[in-house]
């Protein structure tokens, strides 16, 4: 019961702080004219969103980080290298995302950081992550619990780690195209990982990781107060890149890399839809979807934005329920 109480209180704390912080953050962003430029290719429905404040990821990033620091300093949560790794990845990717958002706003187009610099920065983070990961006693092993398979990748684990970080962060970024979509799916995913960590790894020193997940869930729900349709603010790359990277780091730290594929199933499908569409157009000069990513395909079919979001949230919830069973009991 104590564990359950900690989880509930963590969510409530994250929600309360982010809702209050979000109210003032939106006012500040509007005052500074930090606004989204919406692509003309998205159609009339999205044109009205032009000028909506962006970089709203700060609404769940700053409260989550400050709450975790406060919990550590007051002795409510035990500090660990694993927690530091997750926070390090969360914050650094948020900074990368903010720089990207800043350049987009400054240039008045959708061209932020170049692909080269994005890759260089992510390689640096992955190297630091890998060093701290090994230094803290973790092993470079991919553990497929269900099949009883353990793959010792050695130094190749560093490449695997980079692939998971880059893949996860960009998958959330691709999915962030409708009001509340990426935020809601991320809240569901982190709630699932909180439960998985609680059920499988709580006793092995990852309590702080579970608490981080639950605090972030609360902060994301607080953010959704302002981000659900019609959105008063967008999370921007500041939010989407940091969420994807944090999700990947939690999966790696808790040895649930395979479970991540299930938890992040909607993000994976969204990314695959873009890849498949690109191959179809570039190689076969045809389209598989009316528009990629997949959520825009449903819009082109005539679905309302809220209906698409509800469908994807439902899919994310079902996949996360399956992942909880996979990660805890199977």
Residue 325 lies in a domain: no
209 pLDDT higher than 80: yes
Helical spans, DSSP H, in the chain = 2-31, 44-47, 58-73, 81-107, 115-135, 156-175, 181-201, 207-227, 236-253, 257-263, 265-284, 294-300, 305-324
Question: For all residues of the chain together, what is the average pLDDT?
Answer: 90
For residue 205, what pLDDT is reported? 58
164 pLDDT higher than 60: yes
Residue 293 lies in a domain: no
Residue 44 lies in a domain: yes
Task: Give, as one character, the DSSP assignment of residue 203.
Answer: G
The structure's pTM equals 0.94
For residue 143, what pLDDT is reported? 78
Residue 26 lies in a domain: yes
Residue 80 lies in a domain: yes
Mean pLDDT, residues 156-181 taken together: 94
* Higher per-residue confidence, 31 vs 3: 31
For residue 94, what pLDDT is reported? 97
**Tally of CB atoms within 10 A around 115:** 7
Indicate the number of domains in the chain.
1
Tokens of 252: 């790696």
How many angstroms separate the CA atoms of 72 and 177, rounded? 35
23 pLDDT higher than 90: yes
For the chain, state the CA radius of gyration.
19
Residue 90 lies in a domain: yes
The pLDDT confidence band at residue 146, using thresholds 50, 70 and 90, is: low
Which range has the worst mean pLDDT, 53-67, 191-205, 249-263? 191-205
User: 241, 97 in Cβ contact below 8 A?
Assistant: yes
How many angstroms separate the CA atoms of 258 and 311, rounded? 24
**Tally of CB atoms within 10 A around 213:** 29
Residue 198 lies in a domain: yes
How many angstroms separate the CA atoms of 330 and 328, rounded? 6
Residue 307 lies in a domain: no
Spell out the long-range contacts of 107-114 with Cβ–Cβ below 8 A and sequence spacing 24 or more. Answer: 108/37, 109/37, 110/37, 110/39, 112/237
Query: Domain containing 177: what range?
Result: 2-258
For residue 203, what pLDDT is reported? 43
Tokens of 22: 């979000």
């Amino acid at each position: 019961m104590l564990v359950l109480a900690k989880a509930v209180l963590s969510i409530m704390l994250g929600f309360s702080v982010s809702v209050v912080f979000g109210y003032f953050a939106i006012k500040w962003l509007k005052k500074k004219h930090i606004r989204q430029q919406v692509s003309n290719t998205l159609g009339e429905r999205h044109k009205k969103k032009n000028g909506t404040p962006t970089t709203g990821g700060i609404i769940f990033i700053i409260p989550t980080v400050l709450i975790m620091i406060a919990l550590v300093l007051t002795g409510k949560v035990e500090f660990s290298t694993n927690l530091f790794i997750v926070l390090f990845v969360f914050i650094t990717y948020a900074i990368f995302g903010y720089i990207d958002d800043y350049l987009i706003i400054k240039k008045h187009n959708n061209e932020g950081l170049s692909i080269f610099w994005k890759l260089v920065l992510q390689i640096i983070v992955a190297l630091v992550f890998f060093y701290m990961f090994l230094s803290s006693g973790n092993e470079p092993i991919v553990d497929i619990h269900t099949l009883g398979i353990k793959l010792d990748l050695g130094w190749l684990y560093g490449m695997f780690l980079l692939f998971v970080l880059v893949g996860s962060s960009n998958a959330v970024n691709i999915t962030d195209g409708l009001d509340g979509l990426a935020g809601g799916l991320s809240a569901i995913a982190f709630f699932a990982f909180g439960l998985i960590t609680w059920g499988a790894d709580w006793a092995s020193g990852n309590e702080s990781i579970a608490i981080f997940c639950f605090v972030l869930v609360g902060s994301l729900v607080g953010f959704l107060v302002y981000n659900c349709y019609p959105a008063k603010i967008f999370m921007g790359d500041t939010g989407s890149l940091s969420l994807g990277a944090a999700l990947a780091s939690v999966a790696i730290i808790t040895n649930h890399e395979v479970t991540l594929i299930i938890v992040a199933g909607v993000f994976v499908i969204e990314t695959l839809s873009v890849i498949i569409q690109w191959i179809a157009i570039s190689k076969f000069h045809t389209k598989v979807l009316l528009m990629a990513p997949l959520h825009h395909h449903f819009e082109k079919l005539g679905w309302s934005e809220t209906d698409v979001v509800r469908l994807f949230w439902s899919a994310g919830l079902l996949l996360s329920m399956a992942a909880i069973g996979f990660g805890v009991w199977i």
